[in-house]
Structure formats: C-alpha cells, structure tokens
Amino acid sequence: MIKSYRLPAPWGSLRFVEQDGEFDRLIPELEPVQSPDSAPEEMCRWMDLAGSLLEHPHVLSSVDRRHLFSLNRMRSLSAFARSVLREVTFLEPGEILSYAQIAERIGEPAAARSVGRALAANPFPILIACHRVAPARAIGAMSVLRPETLMPEAYLGDKAKKGIGAWLRIHDLSDLP
C-alpha cells in the first residue's frame, strides 16, 4: 500500500511517500501546503530531518546515513547509484563538486555522465543533497554576486523544478557561519 504525507517547503512542499510501511521516496513539489500532514512516527522522523536540513543545511549524521541506506528503495538501486548517492551525503553545505569529481571519488573516473543520471534519479533529495553537484562548466561560472548562476539546468532531471535547486544552493551558502 502506498501513502504519502506533505510538509511545507519554501518553494511549495515536500511529499514523503511510504510504501508497505517504509519510507520510499521524497518528492519536492511546487504546489504549496499550509501545514504538515499527520503521519506515522517513522515518517514524522524523516519529515523532521528534512525540515531541519531546510532550516539549517548540514551533513547527515552517520546514524541517519546508515538508516537511509538500509531502506528498500536504496537497496534496490545499483551499486554504482548507491555509491554516488553515499558520496554526496558527505558534501558540506556550500561545497559544490562536479560530476567528474564525484566519479573520481567513487573510483569511476570515466563515469561523470552516469553520476549525473544517478543524481537525477535520487529518491531522497534534500536528505541526499544532489544540489551540491553540478557540471564543471557551471561551477566555474557560479557566483553569489550573481544568484542566477546558481540555477541548475534542471533539478532531479526536471527543468520545471530548477528553481528548487537554486533555492537549495543559495540557502546552503546563506546559512554558512
């Protein structure tokens, strides 16, 4: 059985999808919601974590990382996709690496395009901060003095949601000490 619960977000909302009683995916949506939906305790924990990451960007704790990667959805991904997503969980707020740099870090230096595809299919955005990875040519042009340069071409493979990726990048930078 599939159920979902929504949480307000600055750009609209976050939809937390539960399948057969387990957190299955997180979907950023542009449609606003005024208050969080009532949810089971386990889903509330994920909703609280995402809310805390939106309020003050940070790296996932080792406990949260372990719990996230033990979910069925994560175990169903290829070993390559899991390694990409795991590596991204270590990126600090304000740190933006290229697809090629992530590929090198996971020991697959020729797999930059595959890194991009794995990030576009990220089932847990916000929790896994895929907005901290970008094409090398885009990173070179990024400037906080020109916020438009922080806008990705797409967010999670969706051009309509690229403003969400820009908001996340700007928020990462604005929350730095």
The set of catalytic residues is 130
Helix (H) or strand (E) holding 42: helix 41-55
CA 138 – CA 142 distance, rounded (Å): 6
CA 129 – CA 36 distance, rounded (Å): 22
Q: What's the alpha-carbon Rg for the chain, to the nearest Å?
A: 16
Query: CA nearest 68: which of 97, 36, 38, 45?
Result: 45
Residue with tokens 């059985």: 1
Residue 5, both tokens: 């619960």
CA 26 – CA 5 distance, rounded (Å): 10
